[in-house]
Amino acid sequence: MIPFLDLKRVNAAHDTGIRAAMARVLDSGWYVLGQEVDAFEREFAAYCETSHCIGVANGLDALHLILRAYGIGEGDEVLVPSNTFIATWLAVSQAGAIPVPVEPDALTHNMNPALVERLIGPRTRAIMPVHLYGQPTDMAPLLEIARKHKLRVIEDAAQAHGARYAGQRVGSMGDAAGFSFYPGKNLGALGDGGAITTNDAELAAKLRMLRNYGSSVKYHHNVAGINSRLDEIQAAVLRVKLTTLDAENAARSQVAAWYMDALQGLPLGLPHVIAAAQSVWHLLVVTSTQRSRLQEALSRADIGHLVHYPIACHLQGAYAERAWPSLPVAERLQNEVLSLPMAPYLGQQDVVHVAGVVRKALA
């Protein structure tokens, strides 16, 4: 059996460090916004090559709070990918703004920069690209468009910890970026967690208040904030795992290279990485018009697999009240995408075995 992702095995590599980190928090007697969060924020900001990091409760809150801090809300529009996890859209909706979907590039599945400018209107305030599957979006044209139209660029980097575009870390290119530390992410906590990175000192100060009941001084609440604080234990765990993130991302890249070699020549859409991007391979996603056949074959062989994502955001019940434009690329992808096992611990024989089952199913 090859599971889609074995989190117990992922975390076993950090067992000693994690247990020591958790004991350190327990012994400290300080469990909310203490030394571990402070230290992780410094370390993750340095890792992402940004000036500031603000730890929050999850990735959705990270994106929502950025929008709030920039005053983006009721009646405003934010350009988002039509092909993404729903959290990207929900962050916009929670701020009171309107998500405006941009179709993806058919090869990368990321937001297509060529379609962005035509969707900008008088109410557009921001562009929110997602670095999907661990591959950076093509940022140069998006940043140029944003400068031209005086728009904010908010990166959804929830799947791309450590990825680079033109040599620059994701999370450092836009005005701000939101990260998720959901356990299955490349940098995963032992529960929910998130962070915001930015070089904007004024924004960082606002975010620190917003995440903590609108307070920077105890019992003094300057704005109507929320409770969205990265937990001390999760921060301590993340500090341990951050030290090996680059090595684990490199292992994922090797696994991806094995897949690309083993799946060549099949009637299958393989991942396409643009020249400027250095993916960290959070997911290994292929496309096939025979997805059901592949799923059945993988299930029979006890090989884990998932679909990211089976229902496009505009077709979800949460957004059923609006009439959306035709989004054929997103709708095609929802019927064809299939995620194969991807983890830093996989060996070449694991990949060869998965590819053999795929090859036999498509023969």
Distance (Å, whole) CA 179 – CA 161: 8
Angle at 60 between CA 128 and CA 271, to 5 degrees: 60
In the prediction, which pLDDT does 158 show? 98
Distance (Å, whole) CA 330 – CA 327: 6
Percent of the chain with pLDDT over 70: 100
| Pairing of the two strands 152-156 and 124-127 | parallel
Q: Which residues contact 214 (CB under 8 A, 6 or more apart)?
A: 221, 222, 223, 224, 225
Distance (Å, whole) CA 47 – CA 54: 14
Q: Which residues contact 249 (CB under 8 A, 6 or more apart)?
A: 161, 162, 163, 186, 280, 281, 344
Distance (Å, whole) CA 6 – CA 342: 10
In the chain, the DSSP E strands lie at 52-56, 77-81, 98-102, 124-127, 152-156, 164-165, 168-169, 176-180, 194-198, 215-217, 220-221, 277-278, 284-287, 337-340
Distance (Å, whole) CA 47 – CA 42: 9
First to last CA, the chain: 22
Task: Give SS3 for 51.
Answer: coil
Asked if the bond preceding 70 is cis, omega within 30° of 0, the reply is no
| Pairing of the two strands 77-81 and 98-102 | parallel
Q: Which amino acid is at 57?
A: A
Residue 106, CB-side half-sphere exposure with 13 Å CA sphere:
6
In the prediction, which pLDDT does 125 show? 98
Q: What is the pLDDT along the chain (363 residues), one digit of tens a residue?
A: 999 999 999 999 999 999 999 999 999 999 999 999 999 999 999 999 999 999 999 999 999 999 999 999 999 999 999 999 999 999 999 999 999 999 999 999 999 999 999 999 999 999 999 999 999 999 999 999 999 999 999 999 999 999 999 999 999 999 999 999 999 999 999 999 999 999 999 999 999 999 999 999 999 999 999 999 999 999 999 999 999 999 999 999 999 999 999 999 999 999 999 999 999 999 999 999 999 999 999 999 999 999 999 999 999 999 999 999 999 999 999 999 999 999 999 999 999 999 999 999 998
Q: Which helix (H) or strand (E) holds 42?
A: helix 35-48
pTM for this model (two decimals): 0.97
In the prediction, which pLDDT does 360 show? 97
Q: Which residues contact 338 (CB under 8 A, 6 or more apart)?
A: 285, 286, 287, 288, 291, 294, 295, 305, 307
Task: Give SS3 for 349.
Answer: helix
Copy the structure tokens of residue 193.
């967690």
| Pairing of the two strands 164-165 and 52-56 | unpaired
